[in-house]
Amino acid sequence: MHGARLHGFALLVAAGDAGRARQAAAEALEAGAAQAARLRHPERAAAWLRRHTLLTLRRGRLGKGLSEAVRQAALAELGVGMGAYRALGQLSLEQRAAVVASAIEGLAPIDLETIMGAPADRSRRLATDGLRRYLAAMAPTLPVGLAPAGPLARRIRAAADLALGVQDGASG
């Protein structure tokens, strides 16, 4: 159940270093399997596995000997374009992990604390700083005048439409 998502988490945090990501995820899964019988909070297992993965990825240098094209190709399978790849590359390892866990996976704050091994405010700051840095690198590369069609854009559009409707109604 956790394998594929954990592998994807590792691949993103490792910035496309597929070998390191595969090994980190596999090690975490193996350690998790060895401890499964002792799990008292299985709902927190995803965070535990990501914590293990993050600590493994911290050891040693990422992307050693790998070209940018190879790393980007590994991430393209997840739907990461070149722009996002480069923007995420501006983040520290911890910031990437925090952004992936919170903004992409939507994990709960308590899970983020576990993954980052840090208290709530510090974990949240890592995610916020990571997002800020990602946006600073990514947003300027997007064309002006585009009409985004993603879920967040649709939500904002719906709220704006609602606001316009209410205002029209109030004025009329």
Partner 1 sequence: MSDAHRRFTEWLFAGSDEELPRDLALHASVCADCVRAVAALDLLEGIDLERAGVPGPLPAKGRVRTLLGAGTRVARLGGAAAGAVLVLVVVGGGAGPWLAGLFGASPDSGVLGHTATPGASATQPATVSPDPGSPSASASGPEVSTGAEPSGAPWSPPVTPHPTPRPTPRTTAAPTPVPTATPVPTPAPTPGPPSAPTGLTAVAGTLSIQLTWVRPASDPPIIEYLIYRGTLPGEATELIGKSNLSLSFSDSTAIAGTNYYYVVSARNAISEGPPSAEVGPVSLTPPPSSSP
101 binds partner 1 (CB under 8 A): no
Question: Considering beta carbons, is residue 50 or 172 the nearer one to partner 1?
Answer: 50
Q: Cβ 53 to partner 1, closest distance in Å?
A: 9
Contact of 53 with 101, CB cutoff 8 Å: no
Q: Which of 160, 169, 170, 171 binds partner 1 (CB under 8 A)?
A: 160
| Closest CB 116 distance from partner 1, rounded Å | 6
> Minimum distance from CB of 172 to partner 1 (Å)?
17
Dist. CA 113–CA 51, nearest whole Å: 9
Give the residue from 63, 70, 135 showing the smallest Cα distance to 93. 63
Contacts of 145 (CB under 8 A, 6+ apart): none
Q: Rule CB under 8 A: which of 23-82 touch partner 1?
A: 23, 25-32, 34-35, 38-42, 44-45, 47-48, 51-52, 55-63, 68, 71, 76-82
Distance of CA 171 to the CA centre of its chain: 44
User: What's the token pair of residue 69?
Assistant: 């094209």
